[in-house]
Structure 1
Amino acid sequence: MEYEIVELEEKVVMGVCVRISNQDENMPKVIGGLWQHFFADGMYKAIEHKKNQCSIGLYSDYESDVNGLYDVTVCCEVNECEQILDGIVVKKIPSGKYAKFIVKGHMQRAIADFWTKLWSMKLDRKYSCDFEEYQSGGNIDNCEIHVYISLN
């Protein structure tokens, strides 16, 4: 898979969060439910001061590596977070070096295929913060996703 190395500045995001591991057999269902909660229950609309129209799937606070627990946060980037609603968390995506991948296709299939391929790559992963940034204007069958993987 092709990627480029980029330096990102810190981002502040707001959204809903759950702690899970890849070994949890319910992981796809739990993460899907988090996305459903974020959009269908009005959380996305209620967040003020969005920086753009992109939604983000954030993976952070890794216990160890691909096999340990981590936080999944469905969120959006904000310019400021003066009002925090019940059930909403604020997280920071740290500045630093990331591998940036561009994934295109059916939203769920393309991103699942991406992660399967990533796990077999020899990247010097930092396991601090990785995220998927879903570009606005796409649809579920044909979307563009920018994926950032933190590097040492």
Structure 2
Amino acid sequence: MAYSLKSVTIRTDNSESGMAKINELWADIMTGKIPLDFVKNGVPVKGLSPISAYSDYESDEKGKYNLSVMTVTAAFFAKMEELVAQGKYVKIDEKGETIADCANKAWSKVWQLTASGELKRAFTIDYESTVPAEYTKDGKAHCYLYIAVK
């Protein structure tokens, strides 16, 4: 049966085994084992982007949460920028040599700001968009986090 999905969700946490589940999910998506509709025959579809949504938090970053990988259009990012301007979300932008590098930097910054009290997270729904270096003008991978705030 041929099909493509708009999203896939797993329940996980930030433990070592939870991170392994996340890595396995992304590997399955990128190899086509899980056919999300932002990529066809291993090639990204123009105008579509994958994002991760973190929701249904059990407590905070130490508890379980749902991770959904879904496909969005540019309109999603425009809406998120509006929510940032309204003070409902904070945008964190980090870059690095690899997607893993910039994502680790971005999440470490969120956790540091949360621990210091500078960031009051709502733990409702957060979003992550990573862009591989080969698709950026500066040749660096980028990670954009949209963190819901109280």
TM-score by length of 1: 0.67
Residue equivalent to 2:48: 53
Aligned-pair identity (%) = 27
Distance 1:42 1:31, change over 3 A: closer
- Identify which of 103, 106, 121 aligns with 1:125: 121
Give 1:43 shift: 1.3
1:30 aligns to 2:21 (yes or no)? yes
TM-score, normalising length: structure 2: 0.68
- Which structure shows the bigger proportion of residues in helix conformation? 2
Mapping for residues 1-152 of structure 1, pairs under 5 Å: 14-22=6-14, 24-40=15-31, 41=33, 43-45=35-37, 52-77=47-72, 96=83, 97-105=88-96, 106-121=98-113, 122=117, 123-135=119-131, 137-138=135-136, 142-152=140-150
Gaps in structure 2 of 5+ consecutive residues: 75-79
Kindly tell me the number of residue pairs found equivalent between the two proteins.
123
Say which structure, 1 or 2, has more relative contact order (CA 8 Å, 6+ apart). Answer: 1
Distance 1:37 1:126 in 2: 30
Where 1:125 maps in the other structure, the secondary structure is: coil
Report the aligned-residue RMSD: 3.1
Runs of 4+ in structure 1 displaced over 6 angstroms? none
Distance of 1:27 and 1:14 partners within structure 2: 23
